[in-house]
Structure 1
Amino acid sequence: MSTVAMRMPGAAEDPYAHRYLIAAAVSVASMLQVIDTSIVNVAIPNMMGSLGATIDEISLVSTGYIVASVIVIPLTGWLGDYFGRRRYFAGSILLFTAASFFCGTARSLDALVVWRIIQGVGGGALLSTSQAILYEAFPKEEVGKGLALWGLGVMVGPTLGPTLGGWLTDNWSWPWIFFINVPLGIIAALMVMAYVRDSAGGGASRGQRVDWTGIVLLTVSVGALQWMLERGERYDWFDSRLVIGLLVVSVAGGATLVWRELTVKHPVIDFRLLKQVQFTVGTIMGIILGAGLMGSVFVLPIFLQSNLHMTAWQTGIVLLPGALATAVAMTVVGRLSSQMDNRILVVVGTALFGWAMWDLSHLTTQSGPHDFFWPLILRGFGLGLMFIPLTNLTMAEVSQADMSQASGLYNFFRQLGGSFSIAVMASALTRFTMEKYAVLVPHISLYDAATRQRIDGMAAAMTARGMDPFTAHKQAIAMLMRSVQAQASVLAFEKIYLLSGAILVVSAPLLLLFRTGRPGHKVEMVGE
């Protein structure tokens, strides 16, 4: 008797009976993974004080998790076949959950970093494997609904992470950002074991020889690339021998990995899937989507907290309407994606996202929460319209047997696009700020009447509060220069917003390369 559904006397078992419970389970697991990518960031100062770590040392808590999860993502298809998709997915959830508990109990930096790496190993499976599960759990005409539920958690997660992390850290303590995963992870794992089926042929690869060489090459090349992207800004990029060395190792290892996987009989990563035009074009657009999404998600909280001096909680409140807009869009997309050409939805979503970035590029140092409301509504709705349809388009011609491998590759490249975007945006933000500051400073002169008047006014105000005239004058000049620095920063953010929007808008013509705009794969269930 199947664990998925009870067979009624005289009636055939419904293979889709528990599809919404499955969607709920994989959505919770995926959201935990996405949230844990960002939730740690707001607790970094507390961790440093508690563990006696420097900023360079504590950054390993974030970097170790991300590197481990990115390495695992392209392996998920092979691992799902080797262990059986249900067993592998549930095991990954439990590994992630156990590591979360031990992260919370860690009392040294070394222990915390080790458990974060293990947590990343478990978390790496949660996104790509969950997509493959949903494609089997739902009938073809309802796949969009399942992916909409799953995508809601994936899209809202990056917004909730910093807010939830800030609230838990302020009201409880930093270990609770990990402990909160434990009950949710256990529930998700139990639901997966109860309701998820193994795919046809699951576990069939156990008799095959394990491609350890491919696994090592993947670990070395992706680990070096991700480490370079995470640490490049800190080491001044290619002025550093370390960064150059990591780039050489990544390129050489990546080229060798591709050659190896294309020639070995049983590869751990099937790059042959890229021969399918629709999958390849969709993967390229996935990289661009990851870059645009993560670029905008990365810079907006920084702008709110550094330029407008908002707290993590206030930042979360400002971002919340956009998250709700994404939820609404996902609901709409869940119904429309199986009824219309998905390319239309992607085009509309891209236009809305570009419009939102254009609006955000007009913010100033005097902007308030109300100035972000409609731009973030547009951005949230646009992302919601793009995310699931693009996944459908990418997987439209992938066979069910290749779904796990294809999902792993797609998510792997999308993650790399996001990581690359964050690294580029961080570097560009610093450079743009310096450029704008250099342009603005020459316009500030003590020989200018308006400048002198402003400095004298600020100095007089400070003198009236008891400061001596000489110090007051120096402080007034310093305050003016900080104002110029703030304005330069705002102008730099404006360019970043425009860049994030342009990245997606210019990719829209790639949609013409898709041969079909509707999900077209046939879902084959065990026992059919």
Structure 2
Amino acid sequence: MKRFWIVLTVMLPTFIEILDTTINNVALRHIQGSLSAGVDESTWIITSYLVSNAVVIPMAGWLSRVFGRKNYLIFSISLFTISSFLCGISWSLSSLIFFRILQGIGGGGLQPLSQSILLEVFPKEKYGTAMAIYGMGIIMAPILGPIVGGWIADNFSWRWIYYINIPVGIISILMTYLVIEDPPYLKREKLKVDYPGIILLALGIGCLQVVLDKGEREDWFESNFIVTLSIISVVSLGLLLWWELKRAEHPIVNFRLFKDKNFFFGNLVMFFTFVNLFGSIILLPIYVQNLMGYTAFLAGLVLGPAGLIQFIAFPISGKISDRINPKIPLAFGIIMCAYSTHLMSLFNLQAGFWDFVYPRAVLALGMAFVITPLAALTVAYIPKEKMQDATPLSAVIRNIGGSVGTAIVTTIVSQRAQFHQFRLIENLTPYDIPYQIAIEKLNEYLQTRAFLPPEGAIYRELIRQAQAIAFNEAFWILSVGMISMIATVFFFRKPIYKKKGGAQDAVH
């Protein structure tokens, strides 16, 4: 029973924090109108949170040692809750962005801390079950975010997307105080502050997150702003790696964990998995709304069954990963994820409702069978006293993977749609017989209904077709990237668990 309360205590604030990474997306237009902000300005509401969140996540293990894990967890939930209230009462765009930065700082430690606590309270032979619980939170929260945010913004006020965090935060603080205890190896330590590491980490991760979030809008390396931030990020991260490995007395980021083969390949697969997940869940709603004319409600219904499937599949994948070699369900999950985006690459503009639901459902099944065994394999050989250093690294790689996936697909769709538009328009000439026939037929149809000239209708359809081809190419690239990860399954070491008699036994 105590384990149940610990799981509930750590997953409740984590779920709300991850929900906040996507809940703002659909409420931006409401915020723009309320605070008199432009489109470009309002996107900083999202970027500011992602940047501060990404900077704090890798520091979570070090901060836990400095302040004590329980103290740091209570501080993180408190700051997240207070800043949520401040976001709700924001009086200008600048104030909202500032409070979102504070919210990101508060929320940054919640993901890695919850994962490390779960791995601590469950024995190694139950890591599959532990990571199934964690996976349900980190996968379902970003899916539900736009749905919840859109419903609140449409029916109440955009301010309530922040206010709903307050009661959850208060309950979480009380539960953390009563339920969570620090093990002996995680008591407060007097450590010398790694100031160079903190500065380099903030510059490297912060600039990288801005580049990924703003790159497509700024036309990538055609922009001096993006070029400058990219250089700062690469140099800072390079210096951070050198400093933490060679000079830092108490490193703020423990890069030596990547010497563990499972940890290295586990995070590599996790990166590509979140590229695939975020890339597809960004594109699919846009496809059905912009190209197929679906309402926001119908687009939500396309995504809806996936949540139900994951709710069922995660516990099953956890049980399977506990009983057999986790490499087997991992391989199955990778194949399912790649297959799902391959199906999406076959979309056409005559597709029906269920043609969109089925690939998304397959992706949901695949994600459940990737996240659970992968998380268990990744930390299989990490000692529990090092877990608070390992989980922040995994969390930041996971988040960057999601940002990279979003950046890749939006860039592909934008650029390839223009390319295909130019290629398709080559056939729209007065000397093309099919074009002449189409113009004549449209003239007969449109003239009696006082619509636009037929050329306009044909051009709109051309743009729609060009965008559809670009979407298909983006889905295909996601599929290829995901299936390439199947080879990494062979590099994982088999987890070694203790038998009841005390002997060591590898899972076969």
TM-score range, shorter chain: over 0.9
Counterpart-to-counterpart distance in 2, 1:315 and 1:126: 30
Task: Map Cα deviations across residues 57-105 of structure 1 (whole Å, 9 max, x no partner).
Answer: 1111000000000001100111112222122122212211111111111
* SS of corresponding position for 2:253: coil
The partner residue of 1:251 within 234, 247, 251 is 234
Residue 492 (structure 1) aligned with residue 470 (structure 2) = yes
Question: Does the C-alpha gap of structure 1 residues 127 and 138 become closer, same or farther in structure 2, counting only changes over 3 Å?
Answer: same
Counterpart-to-counterpart distance in 2, 1:490 and 1:461: 26
Residue 226 (structure 1) aligned with residue 195 (structure 2) = no
* SS of corresponding position for 1:282: helix
| Paired AA for residue 197 in structure 1 | E
Residue 121 (structure 1) aligned with residue 99 (structure 2) = no
Counterpart-to-counterpart distance in 2, 1:264 and 1:493: 46
The partner residue of 2:371 within 371, 387, 402 is 387
More deviation in 116-125 or 81-90? 81-90
Over aligned residue pairs, what C-alpha RMSD do you find?
A: 1.7
| Paired AA for residue 264 in structure 1 | A
- 2:14 is aligned to 30
Residue 423 (structure 1) aligned with residue 407 (structure 2) = yes
- 2:479 is aligned to 501
Residue 72 (structure 1) aligned with residue 56 (structure 2) = yes
| Paired AA for residue 470 in structure 2 | A
CA shift at 1:166, angstroms?
A: 0.9
Counterpart-to-counterpart distance in 2, 1:518 and 1:421: 33
- 2:418 is aligned to 434
- 1:444 is aligned to 428
Question: Does the C-alpha gap of structure 1 residues 520 and 150 become closer, same or farther in structure 2, counting only changes over 3 Å?
Answer: farther
Question: Does the C-alpha gap of structure 1 residues 325 and 62 become closer, same or farther in structure 2, counting only changes over 3 Å?
Answer: same
Counterpart-to-counterpart distance in 2, 1:331 and 1:258: 37
- 1:13 is aligned to none
CA shift at 1:446, angstroms?
A: 2.9
Are the aligned partners of 2:52 and 2:104 in contact in 1 as well (CA < 8 Å)? yes
- 1:212 is aligned to 195
Residue 371 (structure 1) aligned with residue 355 (structure 2) = yes
- 1:9 is aligned to none
Are the aligned partners of 2:346 and 2:472 in contact in 1 as well (CA < 8 Å)? yes
Counterpart-to-counterpart distance in 2, 1:74 and 1:255: 16
Query: Between the two proteins, what is the percent identity of the paired residues?
Result: 33
Runs (4+) off by over 4 Å: 517-521
- 2:92 is aligned to 108
- 1:4 is aligned to none
Are the aligned partners of 1:141 and 1:338 in contact in 2 as well (CA < 8 Å)? yes
The partner residue of 1:235 within 200, 218, 240 is 218
CA shift at 1:325, angstroms?
A: 1.3
Counterpart-to-counterpart distance in 2, 1:47 and 1:287: 32
Are the aligned partners of 1:33 and 1:126 in contact in 2 as well (CA < 8 Å)? yes
Counterpart-to-counterpart distance in 1, 2:109 and 2:142: 18
Counterpart-to-counterpart distance in 1, 2:288 and 2:418: 19
Are the aligned partners of 1:158 and 1:297 in contact in 2 as well (CA < 8 Å)? no
- 1:458 is aligned to 442
CA shift at 1:517, angstroms?
A: 4.5
Residue 355 (structure 1) aligned with residue 339 (structure 2) = yes
Counterpart-to-counterpart distance in 2, 1:509 and 1:520: 28
The partner residue of 1:53 within 33, 37, 40 is 37
Task: Map Cα deviations across residues 466-492 of structure 1 (whole Å, 9 max, x no partner).
Answer: 46xxxx4xx321111110111111111
- 2:493 is aligned to 515
Aligned length: 498
Question: Does the C-alpha gap of structure 1 residues 520 and 380 become closer, same or farther in structure 2, counting only changes over 3 Å?
Answer: farther
Counterpart-to-counterpart distance in 1, 2:80 and 2:474: 34
Are the aligned partners of 1:330 and 1:385 in contact in 2 as well (CA < 8 Å)? yes
* SS of corresponding position for 1:302: helix
| Paired AA for residue 507 in structure 1 | M
Are the aligned partners of 2:44 and 2:97 in contact in 1 as well (CA < 8 Å)? yes
Task: Map Cα deviations across residues 382-410 of structure 1 (whole Å, 9 max, x no partner).
Answer: 00000021111110110111101101111
Counterpart-to-counterpart distance in 2, 1:363 and 1:517: 40
Task: Map Cα deviations across residues 423-482 of structure 1 (whole Å, 9 max, x no partner).
Answer: 122111111212222222222333334323332333333322346xxxx4xx32111111
The partner residue of 2:259 within 271, 275, 279 is 275
Long gaps (5+) in structure 2: 500-508
User: What TM-score comes out, normalization by structure 2 length?
Assistant: 0.94
CA shift at 1:519, angstroms?
A: 6.7
* SS of corresponding position for 1:506: helix
| Paired AA for residue 484 in structure 1 | L
Question: Does the C-alpha gap of structure 1 residues 357 and 466 become closer, same or farther in structure 2, counting only changes over 3 Å?
Answer: closer
| Paired AA for residue 43 in structure 2 | S
- 1:480 is aligned to 458
Are the aligned partners of 2:9 and 2:179 in contact in 1 as well (CA < 8 Å)? no
The partner residue of 2:73 within 81, 86, 89 is 89
Question: Does the C-alpha gap of structure 1 residues 138 and 309 become closer, same or farther in structure 2, counting only changes over 3 Å?
Answer: same
CA shift at 1:202, angstroms?
A: 1.9
Counterpart-to-counterpart distance in 1, 2:328 and 2:473: 28
Question: Does the C-alpha gap of structure 1 residues 520 and 94 become closer, same or farther in structure 2, counting only changes over 3 Å?
Answer: farther
Counterpart-to-counterpart distance in 1, 2:35 and 2:496: 52
The partner residue of 1:137 within 77, 102, 121 is 121
User: What TM-score comes out, normalization by structure 1 length?
Assistant: 0.91
Are the aligned partners of 2:334 and 2:485 in contact in 1 as well (CA < 8 Å)? no
Are the aligned partners of 2:15 and 2:138 in contact in 1 as well (CA < 8 Å)? yes
Residue 42 (structure 1) aligned with residue 26 (structure 2) = yes
Long gaps (5+) in structure 1: 1-16, 522-528
